[in-house]
């Protein structure tokens, strides 16, 4: 039962899913409630001006981060999902419809560019773009191209089904976070 989660049993929580689902916001909320360090992988993957880290450099950073005793990690990055999931006590999987995710990233982009919001989950020097067509395309195709692989990875490593929470839409997500008792 969602509202009967004993949060004391979870020291390492992984939030995965498409951009635009609210993973970063959820991570901040949980981090505050549970007094756990929040790690946004985007801050470690990107260097200033949207320069990607090398695979080796990013993998080393991820390995260092997951060895901490307590954390909440927000970010999909499927290539490193297996090592992160093996170390996690709980996974919250935001498996939302593509149209909603695209809407949310466009809304976030405009709010950030117009100064109504400030992103604290991104690396310094990675300013929001008005409309990044490649990113929109990536988000639109995420559910079809990435989500099946995420489920496959979790099955492959035998992640306990009772330690994964799948949220299928905004309504489920809001209901889940509203009824949590800490």
Question: Mean pLDDT per 10-residue run, the chain (182 residues)?
Answer: 70 97 96 96 95 97 98 96 97 98 95 87 86 94 97 95 94 91 70
Task: Output the pLDDT for position 179.
Answer: 83
Domain residue ranges in the chain = 9-172
pTM: 0.93
Which residues touch 179 (CB under 8 Å, ≥6 apart)? Answer: 2, 3
Task: Output the pLDDT for position 112.
Answer: 87
Task: Output the pLDDT for position 1.
Answer: 40
Task: Output the pLDDT for position 4.
Answer: 67
Cβ 95 vs Cβ 37: under 8 Å: no
**Hunting for tokens 């009967």 — which residue is that?**
4
Assigned fold of 9-172: Rossmann fold (3.40.50)
């Amino acid at each position: 039962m969602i509202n009967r989660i004993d949060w004391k049993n979870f020291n390492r929580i992984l939030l995965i899913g498409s951009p635009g689902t609210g993973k970063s916001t959820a991570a901040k909320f949980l981090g505050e409630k549970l007094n756990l360090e929040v790690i946004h992988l985007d801050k470690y993957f990107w260097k200033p001006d949207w320069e990607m880290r090398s695979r080796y450099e990013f993998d080393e950073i991820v390995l260092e981060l997951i060895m901490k005793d307590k954390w909440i990690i927000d970010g999909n990055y499927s290539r490193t999902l297996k090592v992160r999931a093996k170390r996690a006590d709980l996974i919250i999987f935001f498996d939302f419809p593509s149209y909603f995710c695209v809407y949310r990233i466009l809304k976030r982009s405009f709010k950030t560019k117009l100064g109504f919001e400030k992103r604290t989950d991104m690396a310094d020097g990675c300013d929001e773009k008005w409309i990044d067509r490649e990113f929109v395309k990536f988000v639109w195709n995420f559910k079809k191209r990435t989500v099946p692989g995420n489920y496959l990875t979790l099955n492959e490593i035998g992640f306990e089904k009772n330690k994964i929470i799948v949220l299928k839409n905004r309504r489920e997500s809001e209901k889940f976070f509203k009824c949590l008792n800490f």
